[in-house]
Structure 1
């Protein structure tokens, strides 16, 4: 039987059978998810019919060079959960100037063991302050300061040749006020006015009572009056970032077309920025609504038809109960999500030399669907949000950690950041600074040991380890950001420094901090990729030991079990081991065999023990 498109037209492309197979497998669930959101909308019939044709046409038009990758990943059921898929995240201009500059630095990233590149927002932003590129004026153009779409496609091609992938930020919750859709809306086009949410002063005030300010100091409130729109436009973040109206099904279609367009350029993954905010509902915080989860699942199913090798990453810095649903009700939503609770808990555990909060968060994070994977990280471009641990630690703990890292209460060189009323201040700072590593200190310093310890922990967890630019050489805070008028108002630029390539060259010089840290992260990536060969599998689950200062977790679902032990304390500690590890074990990080029912750990020492 000759395959036909959803509209009944004859199929005319050689890969039409694959498209038909994927369509039959994924379209019913895609339509069902959208029916939950838009089924009662009078536009439903026209919308779903047009979308069906669009998805089919996009799948047929998938570039031939990308179809092989689609087929390989479809044929490898467990590729997503393969160990050691190290990701590296950075701002293009801070790392290498522009996209051609990034291409010239691929040997450096290859040497580090990177498998996925995640440049932070690089699509064309508004002029002036753009919230670090998160106010997008055009989804189909690259920021001209960084290059153009041909440069992006060339980078994606280079990465595929190295068996590496490119993840790009798609800011799906809002556009810049200068986006073409917003310009048309401000010019009076009613169709585009329905792409945004405009309320009267009274309506906005009522909604505001239930919302939580994201930037209470620098951008208080969630609405901005615009005379051209005749009311108060919903602006969750900054006044120049206009929230999209996903109650309009056309907005869903527009954003799907953006994803498909970028996927056709070789992009292999999308970080869905601000995904929790996609759906607004009166009388609620308008975060993590069921419709937001359904929209993300629908995008996942559409891409499974058009570009099945592409992954979706949920940027949801929320409680675990709110993050896990982004993986999808049956594991078909986002492929990855930031393991924010575990990351934040790591810093709390390090401050107290007590693994309790980490254990609670790790146990909760194990509840994700098996198909999906965590993105495990030590730091990123945003602040450390202590309030995200409210379900796992009492307020006094949150306040103590906030002061410890942001107000000079401990070894940290971080700074306090803003918070919503009733919360504790978040913290800004590079991982090296938060770990207490000062510029000029060597590899034997406590700060260097703490930094290596944290990265050793996240590499042993199930999921993908993420390295933030510069952590591999101990890059310090950018203390001069306040001299730049476009950055001075946002304290997060403290931990968005320019790459120090002079320091990076020292990674080849024995005895330097850069050589020690770079070599450490490179070895961790190698060993993480070897875990499957050692038979290690399954989620990481906490193990309670005699001393709360020894953080411990194991993975036990493979032929061999892994026990990760990390001494959070400044002093040496000894502990008895679980029975399964009291016979002969091997420390994968040193390659040495060991025996006995107890172990001695030096200050901030890390071991990965596997049963033999």
Structure 2
């Protein structure tokens, strides 16, 4: 049998050929040197973790690998403060910590830390590299893992590479996309602005460069040029550097933008998929226990290739953005159709891959990401509903011309908690429904900081000159630790519910439940149903309505069973569901 490292080396060579063609051999040789050094410098305990996970090929597909996403400063102030809160996180059943960007950012505006000035240093106000290593070590002691955000598409204008480029060094100038002014309009014609209101256009003139620099996001974020092999090798070295300091996973930010091709939107190009697969193959050689999470907020058809092609693996995980957004649309309509559609699309993932299932994150709800599966009228209705027309306390965000506005807001606010004109019992039930549903799906459930205590919007950002221009700060509040110990509704009930869902998801492994979530067509439009049938038969039913519903399941899925969440017996035949009730039906042995 071919050794795993041999397979990985072959996969790396194949990926580099797809990216760099005739130059692939030289790139492989330089990558090989980096990998040899990384293998030689890898600590014994990390090597042991590599062996353990390599011997257990299906570990990442198990249920209940719960992720907690947060900003370090908003959650605990510093990395040392995060260590002090690990008992709390462990009590919630958290297995993975995903702090949002914590590497050293540019001074002043930094897009929430996504404008990185140094990949090998921690943002000083949060701690230092030693504090990051300590957190990673503490997590390993608890059988938990750290996922580090790597902003691989762009650097801050103040990064050393950019500073050298601006000083006239041609070697580092080639690290970036520098475009002659006469060519900017030609490139721009096919591109879509990410922030059309706050950062229109995709290029920024820089006097020191005497030319235009590609800046997909903000003018101070310079897009890296992966057509230059030196950039790929630099970023690979960054991944290996942190992997050998105990980081067990990397979130690859803005992966769809990694390759530029004239006449296209410069998103989701074949080379972008190959770059992610090359990172995976390289880590399989030097740090096989490390997982890759791709941040690609795109349609499922554009995301799935990031998982790899054929025998060549790509990312282990990707955000299940389609299902997340569809759940909000289904909840607004009290109709499961769009959620069934997106769950079916998500089921097309490869066997080795897993979805990161989530309800909210630090970014906006992008309705346009469902454009391939829903009508413009649907998208506009959902945008209006969560922007103020419905029970939601959300706010409209910017969009491209011809698109519909995205939505900002914390989960608790979006379901109507805190609004005097909304039934608060129903609002809390909606919040529970969303999290119960994503825990039942195949993949890793993610909790966004504060959702476990029903934390609401942070409207104070409007009075802060450093943040008031950026509407996404609405869903980036500081953690309210008084809510973490509260016992009353909604915070106490939601915290207890999160614990129940996580424990139940982990219990599915021992109960023999596995496989993809596949939607069921039911006789009740307001009930979302999906099954997992690779092993013991499992059915999830979620009543999206404020009215009680009775649903008849198709033959074969209507047998006697028990509810994993409550342990009550469910007789054969039609199922009665209370308003917003979620049921996890496990077939009898």
TM-score range, shorter chain: over 0.9
Name which of 368, 382, 390 aligns with 2:349. 368
Question: Counterpart of 1:557?
Answer: 534
Question: Which position in structure 2 is the counterpart of 1:31?
Answer: 13
TM-superposition CA deviations, 1:481-521 (whole Å, max 9, x none): 11111111110000000000011121xx2x43221100001
Deviation of the 1:381 alpha carbon? 0.3
In the comparison of the two structures, how many residue pairs are matched?
586
Matched, 1:387 2:364: no
Q: TM-score, normalised by structure 1?
A: 0.94
The equivalent of 2:290 in structure 1 is 310
Gap change, CA 1:220 and 1:522, over 3 Å in 2: same
Q: Secondary structure of the residue that 2:355 maps to in structure 1? A: strand
Q: What are the within-5 Å matches in structure 2 for residues 485-500 of structure 1? A: 485-500=465-480
Alpha-carbon contact 2:416-2:424 (below 8 Å) kept: no
SS in 1 for 2:230: helix
- Contact in 1 for aligned 2:180/2:211 (Cα 8 Å): yes
Aligned counterparts of 2:242 and 2:559: Cα–Cα separation in 1 = 52
Q: Deviations over 1:82-139 (max 9, x none)?
A: 1100000000000000000000000000000000000000000000000000000000
In structure 1, C-alpha distance between the alignment counterparts of 2:295 and 2:413, rounded to whole Å: 24
Moved more, 577-586 or 330-339: 577-586
Q: What's the counterpart of residue 313 of structure 2?
A: 332
The aligned runs of 1:147-226 (5 Å cut-off) are: 147-226=127-206
Separation in structure 2 between the aligned mates of residue 504 and residue 580 of structure 1, nearest angstrom: 42
Distance 2:421 2:246 in 1: 41
Aligned counterpart, 1:458: 438
Conserved in 1, the CA contact under 8 Å of 2:393 and 2:419? no
In structure 2, the partner of 1:426 is 406
Secondary structure of residue in 1 paired with 2:332: helix
Q: For structure 1, which segment, 587-596 or 440-449, has the greater mean C-alpha deviation from structure 2 after superposition?
A: 440-449
- Structure 1 residue ranges, 4+ long, deviating more than 6 angstroms after superposition: 439-444
The residue aligned with 1:146 is 126
Task: Select which of 54, 72, 90 maps to 1:74.
Answer: 54
Within-5 A mapping of 1:22-101:
22-41=4-23, 44-101=24-81
Q: What is residue 89 of structure 2 aligned with on the other side?
A: 109
* Structure 1 residues 397 and 252: CA distance shift in structure 2, 3 A: same
| CA-CA distance at 1:47 after TM superposition | 2.9
Give the Cα–Cα distance (whole angstroms) in 2 for the partners of residues 268 and 301 of structure 1: 15
Asked if structure 1 preserves the Cα contact closer than 8 Å seen for 2:514 and 2:533, the reply is: yes
Equivalent residue in structure 1 for 2:553, among 577, 580, 588: 577
Instruction: Give the aligned partner of residue 131 of structure 1.
Output: 111
Alignment match, 1:591? 567
Residues 416, 422 of structure 2: 8 Å contact kept = no
Q: Which residue of 1 aligns with 2:515?
A: 538
In the aligned structure 1, how far is the partner of 2:461 from the partner of 2:321?
26
Conserved 8 A contact 1:226-1:232: yes
Alignment pair present for 1:275 and 2:255: yes
User: 1:57 deviation in Å?
Assistant: 2.0
Q: Matched residues in 2 for 1:112 and 1:411: separation?
A: 28
> d(CA) in 2 for partners of 1:596 and 1:84?
28
Equivalent position SS for 2:42: coil
The whole-number CA distance in structure 2 between the counterparts of 1:213 and 1:378 is 25
SS class of match (1:145): coil
Q: Is the 8 A contact 1:99 1:146 kept in 2?
A: yes
**Cα deviations across residues 165-203 of structure 1 (Å, max 9, x unaligned)?**
000100000000000000000000000000001111121
The CA distance in 1 between the partners of 2:426 and 2:143, in whole Å, is 36
CA distance in 2, matches of 1:213, 1:498: 30
Instruction: Name the structure 2 match of 1:610.
Output: 586
SS at match of 1:337: strand
Tell me if the contact between 1:136 and 1:171 (Cα under 8 Å) persists in the aligned partners: yes
Matched, 1:448 2:448: no
